[in-house]
A and B are shown apart, each in its own frame.
Chain A
Amino acid sequence: MKGTDSSHEGTSFTRRDFIKSVGIGGGLVLFGQFGVNAAAWALSGDPVLKMVLVDYTKCTGCRTCETACSARNRPVSINGRDLPGLGNPRFANIRVHSFNPDVDVPNVCAMCADTPCVNTCPVKPDPKTGRRALYRDQATHAITNDPGRCLGCRSCAKACAAQRRGVITPNPTTGKPERMCTLCGGDPQCVKRCPFGALSYVEVRRDRKFYGLGPEKIAAELAKGWYGTAEFGGMK
C-alpha cells in the first residue's frame, strides 16, 4: 500500500476478526459493540463520528505516525520561525507506547461517545453554545479546549487516564489539556503516513458504547496472546 491514502484499507475487518487477531477473549471490548464496519453505520442512519483506529497486529513501533502528527499539529519553531513538517514526536497527539517484551501500542483519542473527559469539566456549559471548557467540536468532532475559560484543573486528564486511554496531557505550566486528536481537520496525517497500514480513518456510530482502554492494558492482552506472558517492563 502506498503511504498516501490508506483510509479505506482498514475499514473492512470486523470486530470479531480484530478481537481474534489480538488474542483478546472474554467480555473485554475494545471498540464499539457494533463494530467498526463503515457500511453498517451508513445503513443505520445515525450521524457518524470519525476516528483513528489502530490495528495492533500491524503496528511495528516505527513512530512515523508521531512525527507526522507533530509535523502538522505541533510544528517545531526555530528562531521564532514555524517549520511545518518538522516536530518532536513527543508532542504528537498519537503516542506509540513500546514495551518489553516487544509490543507497540499507538495511543490516540478514542472519540468516546460518552466523553468522560468533557463530563468532568467543572466549567458550567455556556448558555449559548452549551460548551464547557472542554467540548466536542461539532464540525471536526475533535475534543477541543477553550483555553480562555479553562481553569487548568486537570480533571479532564485524570478522567481520561482513569476511565479511558489517558491521552490528555496537561500542559506542565498551565495545566490546560493537550494531545487530544484533532483528526487533522479531516485529513489524518498519521493514517496517511503509517508505512504499515496499521492506522485507518473510520466512521463509527455516535451512540455506541465505547471502552477505549489504556495502553498498558492493551499491551498486556497482546503480550499474552503473542508470547504467552504478561511480565512487563516500563509499565509505569
Chain B
Amino acid sequence: MMSGKPGYHGVILNIDLSTGKSEKVAIPPEDLARFVGGQGLGMKILWDRLKKPGVNPLSPENPLIFMPGPFSGLPVPSSSRTCVVTKSPITSPVESDYPHASTVSYSNMGGFFGPEIRFAGYDGLVITGKASELSYVVIDDDKVEIREGKRFKGMRTDAFDKVFLDALGDRRFKTVYIGPAGEKLVPYSSILHTAGRAAGRGGMGCIMGSKNLKAIAVKGSGQPGVADHKRFLAALEKARSALFGSAYAKSWAEQGTARAIVANSNAGTEAVRNYREGTFLEADKIGGDAARRDVWVKDIACYCCPLACKKSGTTKGKYGGIVHDGPEYETGVMLGSNLLISDMPGLLKAITTLDDLGLDQISTGNVIGFLMEAYEKGLIDRSFLDGIDLKWGSVDATLAMIEKIAAKDGVGALAAEGVRALSWHIGKGSEKFAIQVKGLELAAHNIQANQPRGLSYVTASRGACHMSGDNIAMQNRRAMLDSTGMCFFPTFEPALEEPMLSLLSAITGHEYDKAEFEKTGERIFNLEKLFNYREGFRRADDRLPDRFFEDAFTIGPKKGSVLDREQFDAMLTQYYKDRGWDSETTKPGKAKLQELGLDSI
C-alpha cells in the first residue's frame, strides 16, 4: 500500500478532464519531506505544472489541486482539513508583462474530504483539462470515472448535496461540488462540502466551473501507514488528552468562532459598515449568545475533532424555515456587522443563500458593503443597482444583490468582478473604500486599530488574507500547519504542541521539532512568494486601501484609531528585510533561497 516515504502513499491521482484519462503519479520523495502536504505540497505541484508565468487561470492548463496532509486519514484530533490550491482567478498586479498574471490561491476547508482521499490511496488529487460538458468525477479506491452530469446544471448546493448522494447510492462517498455561481464563473465562487463547509476564498469554485466540473465524490478502503507505530500511539494518546474534555475544547463547542462577533466588536477590531468602524453597536443581536439562545440546536464536528466549532439550527419569522449552520465569525460579520444587518433570521438567510449558490461569504459581504457605501454617498444611483434599494441594514436588498451576483445578471455581472473592478468602473474616489489587496477582498477583521493584521493582509500570498499570520513567525507556522491536514483552531492549546510535533515525526519518519516545523513553513511561504514574484507582483501590490490611513473610527473603544502610513511603510520595509527579501522589489534574496534549498528551483 505504501510506496517510498512512510506516512504517505507517495502518489497523487491525476485526472485530465480533456482526455478523460486518470493516472497515479509518483510524488518525488524529497518533495514530501520539503513540502509536506496540503498547502505546501499543493504549491509545489502548482509550481511544477505551471512552468511559465501568466497562464490564464481559467484555461484547462491551470490545475485544481485537492490536498490532504500527512495527518489526514489517521485518527489524529482535528485532522480534517483539505487545502485546495490553484492559480487565482481574482488577483492581479498593478503592472505585469503578462495579461493573465495572478497570485497563487489556496483555500482550506474542514470536514471529511481530505481523509477520504487518503483512504482511497492518494496523497492528493490534481484536476486538469476541461470536460466537454458538465461532468462529475467518482473515485472509489482505484476506480476512477468521469460521468456526464448535465442534469445537475444550475443546481444549488443544498439540493445538489441531497440528490447527488442519492444518485451515488452510498452515503459513504464524501463529496465536493460547486453551485450556480461556480458554473457561471463568478471569480469569488466557492467549493462546498456537506452543504455547509466551504473552500470559500480565492475563487476555487470558479476554477472548478471553468473545467466544467460540477462535483467530485470519493471513498476508499485503505489507510496510510506510519513510520514509527509505537511513537505514534503514544503521541496520539497525549494529543487526545491535551484536548478531550479540556476547558479550551469546551469553549469552542459552546460558541465556535461566533464568540468573536461580540468580542471583536468590543475590541474595536471588527469589519463594520464597510470597514468604516471597528465596533458594531448591535453585535449582541447576531453574536454567539443570541445564536445559542435562538438558533442553534446542534454542535457539529469535522473528522476526529474534539472542538465541534460548527453549529446548525433553524429560524422563524419572515426569513424562517432555514436549516443551516452559522453564524460563524466571518459569515456573521461580513453579512451582519459589515452591512449593519442585525436581524438574526435575515442574516442566516443571507449566509444560507450564499452557501446555496456557492459564493464566498467574505468577498460577497465585502462587495455588498462597498456598494451600500457608494449608494449612500450618491456615487451610484438606484438604476445602477437595477432598482435595488441597497441601504445599510436591508436584508431584502442584500438577498436581491446576492442573487444578481451569482447569476451575473445586470449589475451583478460587474459586482461579480469584485470591489476593485467596481471601484475602477465607478471611479469618483471610490478606490479609497474598495477594501481589497491585489484584488482579493479583506475578511472580517478590521485594522485601523490592529496594524499587525494589516501586515497579514498585504503580505499574504493569495491577496488579502486574515489567516496568513500577523508576523513572519506566524506566517511560517501557519503555512506549515495548513500543510499537515490539521485544523488551525485546536493548535492554540499549548499542551497540543509537543504531541502534534511528535505525531508528525512518528508518521513521516522525518524529525520535526519547532525549528524544523517553522523552517519548512518558511520554505513553503517563500515558494509562494517566488510564484507571485514571477507573475510580476512587487511592493506596490502590497498595499492597503486609503481608508485605513484616513478614516479614523468614530465610535467604540478604539474611537480615533487610524493607521499611520509612515509607520506602516516602515513596518513593511522591516518585514521584507527580516524575510531576506529586497525591500524595494520584494524579490526573495539569494541567501534566503539558498538557506531554504529553493535556489535551484
| Given known contacts A85-B233, A226-B298, A3 and B162 CB-to-CB distance under 8 angstroms | no
Looking at A2, A85, A234, the one whose CB has the most chain B CB atoms below 10 A away is A234
| Contact partners of A68 in chain B: CB under 8 A | 75
Name the interface size band of chain A.
35 or more
Q: Are A78 and B225 in contact (CB under 8 A)?
A: yes
A233 at the interface (CB under 8 A from B): yes
- In this complex, what residue of A is CB-closest to B162? A233
Among candidates A63, A87, A236, residue contacting B166 with C-beta atoms closer than 8 Å? A236
Q: Are B300 and A90 in contact (CB under 8 A)?
A: no
B400 at the interface (CB under 8 A from A): no
* A to B contact number (C-beta, < 8 Å): 135
| Given known contacts A3-B240, A62-B303, A228-B314, A195 and B161 CB-to-CB distance under 8 angstroms | no
- In this complex, what residue of B is CB-closest to A23? B297
B528 at the interface (CB under 8 A from A): no
Among candidates B2, B161, B299, residue contacting A60 with C-beta atoms closer than 8 Å? B299
CB distance from A141 to the nearest CB of B (A): 26
Q: In the complex, A91→B313 CA distance in Å?
A: 31
A158 at the interface (CB under 8 A from B): no
- In this complex, what residue of B is CB-closest to A222? B298
CB distance from B108 to the nearest CB of A (A): 18
| Contact partners of B236 in chain A: CB under 8 A | 85
A97 at the interface (CB under 8 A from B): yes
| Contact partners of A4 in chain B: CB under 8 A | 241
| Contact partners of A196 in chain B: CB under 8 A | 253, 299, 301, 306, 308
Among candidates A2, A64, A85, A98, residue contacting B171 with C-beta atoms closer than 8 Å? A98
| Contact partners of A195 in chain B: CB under 8 A | 77, 240, 243-245, 249, 301, 305-306
Q: Are A98 and B225 in contact (CB under 8 A)?
A: no
Among candidates A85, A100, A227, residue contacting B297 with C-beta atoms closer than 8 Å? A227
Q: Are B223 and A88 in contact (CB under 8 A)?
A: yes
Q: In the complex, A2→B242 CA distance in Å?
A: 10
Q: Are B297 and A226 in contact (CB under 8 A)?
A: yes
Q: Are A234 and B166 in contact (CB under 8 A)?
A: yes
Within 8 A of A (CB), among B159-187: 161-166, 169, 171-172
A86 at the interface (CB under 8 A from B): yes
| Contact partners of A78 in chain B: CB under 8 A | 1-2, 223, 225
Within 8 A of B (CB), among A90-108: 90-91, 97-98, 100-104
Q: In the complex, A228→B299 CA distance in Å?
A: 17
**Tally of B interface residues using CB under 8 Å:** 56
A67 at the interface (CB under 8 A from B): yes
Q: Are B301 and A86 in contact (CB under 8 A)?
A: no
| Contact partners of B219 in chain A: CB under 8 A | 90
B146 at the interface (CB under 8 A from A): no
- In this complex, what residue of A is CB-closest to B118? A88
| Given known contacts A90-B221, A196-B308, A227-B323, A234 and B240 CB-to-CB distance under 8 angstroms | no
CB distance from B74 to the nearest CB of A (A): 7
Q: In the complex, A2→B243 CA distance in Å?
A: 9
Give 1 or 0 for each of B227-240: 1 = CB within 8 Å of chain A CB. 00100110010001
Give 1 or 0 for each of B84-120: 1 = CB within 8 Å of chain A CB. 0000000000000000000000000000100000010
| Contact partners of B196 in chain A: CB under 8 A | 102
| Contact partners of A233 in chain B: CB under 8 A | 161-166
Give 1 or 0 for each of A200-236: 1 = CB within 8 Å of chain B CB. 0000000000000000000000000011110111111
| Given known contacts A3-B241, A85-B233, A227-B314, A64 and B119 CB-to-CB distance under 8 angstroms | no
A1 at the interface (CB under 8 A from B): yes
Among candidates B2, B171, B321, residue contacting A234 with C-beta atoms closer than 8 Å? B171
CB distance from A128 to the nearest CB of B (A): 38
CB distance from A227 to the nearest CB of B (A): 4
CB distance from A79 to the nearest CB of B (A): 7
Among candidates A83, A85, A100, A232, residue contacting B194 with C-beta atoms closer than 8 Å? A100
| Contact partners of A102 in chain B: CB under 8 A | 196, 298, 300, 312, 323, 325
Q: Are A2 and B223 in contact (CB under 8 A)?
A: no
| Contact partners of B323 in chain A: CB under 8 A | 101-102, 227, 229
Q: Are B314 and A226 in contact (CB under 8 A)?
A: yes
Give 1 or 0 for each of B287-319: 1 = CB within 8 Å of chain A CB. 000000000011111111110100011100000
CB distance from A12 to the nearest CB of B (A): 18
- Report the 5 A-B pairs with minimum CB-CB distance, sorted nearest first: A233-B162, A234-B165, A3-B244, A195-B306, A62-B301
Could you write out 7 A-B pairs with CB less than 8 Å apart? A60-B253, A62-B301, A63-B112, A78-B2, A85-B233, A195-B240, A236-B165
Inter-chain pairs besides A2-B241, A64-B306, A86-B229, 4 sampled, C-beta below 8 Å = A60-B301, A62-B304, A67-B304, A83-B226
Binding site for A on B (CB under 8 A): 1-2, 74-75, 77, 112, 119, 158, 161-166, 169, 171-172, 194-196, 219-223, 225-226, 229, 232-233, 236, 240-241, 243-245, 249, 253, 297-306, 308, 312-314, 321, 323-325
